[in-house]
Amino acid sequence: MRFPYGIADFCKLREEGYFYVDRTDRIPLIEEAGSQLLFLRPRRFGKSLWLSTLENYYDLARADDFERLFGGLKVGQNPTPLRNRYFILKLNFSMVDPQGDYPAIRSSLFHHLNIQIKETVARYGDWLEGGVEVQADDGIASLQSLTSAVSRTPHKLYVLIDEYDNFANEVMISPLRGTHRYEELVQGEGTIKTFFKALKAGAEGRGIDRVFLTGVSPVVLSDITSGYNVAKDVTHLDEYHDLCGFTAAELAEAVAGVLAARSLPADRAPSILDLLQSYYNGYRFGETENPPLYNPTLALYFLDYFNRYGRYPRQMLDDNLAMDRNRIQYVARLPHGEKLVNQALNEREPLAVAQLVNRFGVQDMLTAPKTPDFLATLLYYFGVLTLAGRDAIGKLRLAIPNQVIRKLYVERLQEQLLPRYEDQEQRQALVERFYATGDLGPLCELLEQTCFKVFDNRDLRWSNELVIKTAFLAVLFNDAFYVMDSEPALGRGYGDLLLRVRPDMRQYALLDHLLEFKAVSLKAVGLSSAELAGKSREELRALPAVAEKLQEAETQLAAYRAALERTANPALKLRTHAVVGIGLDRLVG
């Protein structure tokens, strides 16, 4: 089997026999949906491959290739009348350099437009009547010349634009912010606004028949307002929920194929699929509660590696996705963003919004938002939160989709809690000792001396119990060794934090760990912070309020252990840990 990791060329996939999940049955739906469409998904979610599919399907110059490329696919059995009827102009705004000032970005955009227009002219020269004048210093004029030439033929132009908002996102998220240069691009007669006005004009009987835009957020279209107010947003319509992304059944079929191809036992599939579900699943985009999707880039990253070497990649996060941590950092820097980003780690009280904010511009992103809904929506569009059902009053819940994304949040928090090299070095030594022995004492000392002092001065103050759990999650997190399961369902209850050894790491000296956290106030133990500091852990453990909480946690852990032992396959090497926090001062385990 061949997996197209990093390949977004539909023709290459079909001609060279790569693994391909057929979504071509959506092509008729897209034709019916409208002539100018916007489709948003997080980075690296398969948008470029979908545009390549549309390009090959509608390209007038590829009519002779239709049966070879689409004959075995769903749309090939019942093609639409519009197949292979268009000139194609394909643009990719990730090719527009966002660095520099306004004239530099404008020049980069024009350069890209002109290159693609020249390619279109060369491809369709036999059909185009008259010449197309390409102006080096004015790509929009070049576009108008192309649409004029197209309008003199029996055919129309289909414009495909990938990452239409890329330069806007990069300009805003860069440390220099670049607010003024972005505003120059979209306001008044700014270049981006003028470009989209030209698209809109070209669709008014001047050569352009269809436009399909992909991107991450609606920010650009919000900023240009009347410049391009004709695009229909199909992002959240149910029929396009899985337009990009893999379903559980599709991934199960792929895993079975890899095992068979490598002559590996079929009974390995459940443990592999369980791992993939923890790390890559959990994305929902539709208006209703559709089945969760797997991130296709991450799934292909795993499948390609496992197919080549017969083992799991040590690092479950593709480095290309690690850049999404910058998006989390960006939101955290916005007014009130730090508090909301930290709250996302609280599974007991998921973030909830009345509705997703679908029209916001750069000023909304750079100034204090009026509601938390805006910040949460921004994290959703960036792909680091996803839809997770509704709460009791019908608000949309937003949650971290999976382990890979949780790691991005945790790494950011870890850097805040333990910023010094010496702190990280000490953390690594102590957690590795804990992984192998279950020795909790030194870890508690580290948290008392470092993390709690940071937490006490930040917005992460839901309840002491949740703060304690979050601190342990940040310090213990290691996806090279463990699947970190926060709030796992165990019997009739929910554990606090389960570190389950990865299937491929069970041969090593690693224990599974289940932690249950409780909290008592300083008032409940009748001691001041200074008095607590002078007591040993044994003395603290004997305090009646602490002993009661420890017993309560041990009772829960016994029930959770029984539930795990009934269901765990293979059997876990389980250690359980009851942990009581006294204020944000001391820990007893």
Give the model confidence (pLDDT) of 213-247 as tens digits. 999 988 888 888 777 889 999 999 999 999 999 99
Residue 275 has pLDDT above 90, yes or no: yes
More confident site: 181 or 195 = 195
> Could you tell me how many residues make up the chain?
589
Q: What is the pLDDT at residue 174?
A: 66
542 token code pair: 């004997």
Mean pLDDT of 551-571: 89
More confident site: 59 or 390 = 59
Tens digits of residue pLDDT in 66-97: 999 999 999 999 999 999 999 999 999 999 98
- To the nearest 10°, the Cα dihedral for 24, 25, 28, 29? -110
Tens digits of residue pLDDT in 448-474: 888 776 665 554 444 577 888 888 998
Q: What is the pLDDT at residue 460?
A: 45
Residue 368 has pLDDT above 70, yes or no: no
Mean pLDDT of 358-381: 77
Task: Give the mean pLDDT of the chain.
Answer: 89
- Range of weakest confidence among 23-32, 399-408, 409-418, 475-484: 409-418
Question: How far from 223 is each of 78, 363, 380, 527, CA to CA, in Å?
Answer: 40, 9, 19, 57
Residue 107 has pLDDT above 60, yes or no: yes
Mean pLDDT of 344-366: 81
More confident site: 349 or 313 = 313
Per-domain residue ranges for the chain? Answer: 29-235, 248-253+266-322, 428-589
- Range of weakest confidence among 311-315, 336-340, 388-392, 568-572: 568-572
Number of Cα atoms under 13 Å in the Cβ half of residue 343: 18
**Cα 352 from Cα 391, distance rounded (Å):** 8
Mean pLDDT of 254-263: 96
Tens digits of residue pLDDT in 127-170: 997 789 999 999 999 999 999 999 999 999 999 999 998 877 77
Mean pLDDT of 556-568: 90
Residues 6+ apart with CB under 8 A from 88: 55, 58, 59, 60, 120, 123, 157, 158, 160
Share of residues in the chain with pLDDT > 90 (%): 60
Residue 568 has pLDDT above 90, yes or no: no
Q: Where are the alpha helices (DSSP H) in 268-382?
A: 269-280, 296-309, 319-322, 324-333, 337-343, 362-366, 372-381
Mean pLDDT of 539-547: 93
- Range of weakest confidence among 69-73, 159-163, 174-178, 395-399: 174-178
CB 245 within 8 A of CB 293: yes
Q: What is the pLDDT at residue 575?
A: 95
Tens digits of residue pLDDT in 509-521: 999 999 999 999 8
324 token code pair: 């999404």
Q: What CATH class is the domain 29-235? A: alpha beta
Mean pLDDT of 105-113: 94
Instruction: Specify which of 174-188, 217-231, 532-546 reaches the highest per-range mean pLDDT.
Output: 532-546
Partnered with residue 39 across adjacent β-strands are 214
Q: What is the pLDDT at residue 557?
A: 95
- Range of weakest confidence among 30-34, 416-420, 442-446: 416-420
Residue 21, φ and ψ in degrees, nearest 5: -100, 120
